[in-house]
Amino acid sequence: MLDSILESLHVISLPTKTNFRSVTSREVALFEGPAGWAEFSPFLEYDAKECVPWLVSAVESATQSAPEPVRTSIPVNATLPAVNGSERIAEILSWYPGCSSIKIKIGGNLEADLKRISDVRTLSPNASIRIDVNGSWTIDQARVALQSICQGGPIQYVEQPCSTIEELRELKKLLNGEVLIAGDEILRKAHDPLSVDLRDAVDIVMLKVAPLGGISRSLEIAKKHGLPVVVSSALESAIGLSYGLKLAASLPELPYACGLATGKLLGSDVAELALMGGFIEVTSPTPAPDALINHRVSDEKLSWWRERIRSTWVEGAQDWASAEGWVW
């Protein structure tokens, strides 16, 4: 299977329109298997071990057909990176026509965070606001910040306010249901996302297909925890995002808009996932041949990615794929 992956491999670098996760271009590896196109795009600093589920997810999408969908289009939220200034915020929000939920990245300077949230509320007074802290608050900081934030109006939920399970549990007790907590890194960065005990720690789980090892694994995780789910992305190209859309399409319940419109943060993509009225249709996009050529990385970079795939395969993706019985 490794040879087949490497044979059809394209590695491209897509420009981003904003600085997201300190990334100004997004490198993604794409390959085509018997069941369709697949994306392998762990962030560049991840080691082979952390890359394993990402490769497993890609192999699943290349070799397995997606589960039966229960919906054909997915409600999505606008994603606002940690940018400042009302004009810049208005510009970014205009990229998401019809989206009635807005996820705001915060967790830096509290004053700047409050200003960003207040700018969004002024620009989109009817939108539902959710905030993502990426685990950067202590319990005390979370308590103080949430109090100030909620004075400006309600929020849908706060995503990963603190980093550890103990802190989340303590905070949840303090919040007493007044603000819902969503867990992201607590699951995604866990050694075994199936065995994390999320009881009394979070109200909602974020599922990201690639870091969790694919659709079937994500469905298993959702079932295990039995909490409402929001499917989100890792700033993938349209190929990786389409896989998130398929996961969202197959979940029995989908109570919240999903973070799958992040293609809008890319300056250029390999395919178009049309966003209309706040929804994206579930499709199986094919990369445009021009895009694969125009955005391809240097030969040196390509060799680095081929080696990365090889070491990730050996590190654990191979065993995982063969345990699943996937063949190519």
Q: Which has the closest alpha carbon to 115: 78, 145, 156?
A: 145
Catalytic position from the list 172, 208, 246, 264:
208
Residue type, 197: D
Tell me 315's DSSP state: I
> What phi, psi does 225 have (nearest 5°)?
-85, -25
Q: How far is the CB of 66 from Mg ion (least distance, A)?
A: 24
Name the residue nearer to Mg ion (CB basis): 55 or 186: 186
Name the residue nearer to Mg ion (CB basis): 63 or 232: 232
Q: How far is the CB of 103 from Mg ion (least distance, A)?
A: 8
Name the residue nearer to Mg ion (CB basis): 62 or 234: 234
Query: Beta-carbon neighbour count of residue 93 at 10 Å?
Result: 18
Evaluate whether 199 touches 221 at the Cβ level (below 8 Å). no
Catalytic position from the list 17, 49, 103, 105:
105
DSSP-based three-state secondary structure for 257: coil
Report 151-170 residues binding Mg ion (CB under 5 A). Answer: 159
Q: Does 27 bind Mg ion (CB under 5 A)?
A: no
Q: Does 184 bind Mg ion (CB under 5 A)?
A: yes
Name the residue nearer to Mg ion (CB basis): 230 or 245: 230
Query: Which residues fall within 8 angstroms of residue 270, CB to CB, at 6 or more apart?
Result: 12, 14, 30, 237, 238, 239, 285, 287, 288, 291, 292, 295
DSSP-based three-state secondary structure for 261: coil
Q: How far is the CB of 135 from Mg ion (least distance, A)?
A: 9
**Of the listed pieces 1-9, 147-155, 178-186, 265-273, which binds Mg ion according to CB under 5 A?**
178-186
Name the residue nearer to Mg ion (CB basis): 30 or 209: 209
Q: CA 35 to CA 48: how far, in whole Å?
A: 25
Q: How far is the CB of 230 from Mg ion (least distance, A)?
A: 10
Name the residue nearer to Mg ion (CB basis): 141 or 163: 163
**Of the listed pieces 32-40, 173-181, 182-190, 293-301, which binds Mg ion according to CB under 5 A?**
182-190
> What phi, psi does 250 have (nearest 5°)?
-100, -5
Q: Does 32 bind Mg ion (CB under 5 A)?
A: no
Evaluate whether 5 touches 16 at the Cβ level (below 8 Å). no
**Of the listed pieces 14-22, 73-81, 122-130, 184-192, which binds Mg ion according to CB under 5 A?**
184-192
| Residue 286 CA, distance from chain mean position | 20
Q: CA 184 to CA 214: how far, in whole Å?
A: 16
Q: How far is the CB of 98 from Mg ion (least distance, A)?
A: 23
Name the residue nearer to Mg ion (CB basis): 5 or 210: 210
Clarify whether 301 is annotated catalytic. no
Clarify whether 105 is annotated catalytic. yes
Query: Which residues fall within 8 angstroms of residue 250, CB to CB, at 6 or more apart?
Result: 66, 67, 68, 69, 70, 215, 219
Position among 32, 39, 113, 132 found at the interface with Mg ion (CB under 5 A): 132
Q: How far is the CB of 160 from Mg ion (least distance, A)?
A: 6
Q: Which residues are bridge partners to 38 per DSSP?
A: 31
Residue type, 79: T
Q: How far is the CB of 17 from Mg ion (least distance, A)?
A: 19
DSSP-based three-state secondary structure for 61: helix
Residue type, 292: L
Q: Which residues are bridge partners to 32 per DSSP?
A: 37
Active site residues: 105, 208
- Contact residues toward Mg ion (CB under 5 A) are 132, 159, 184
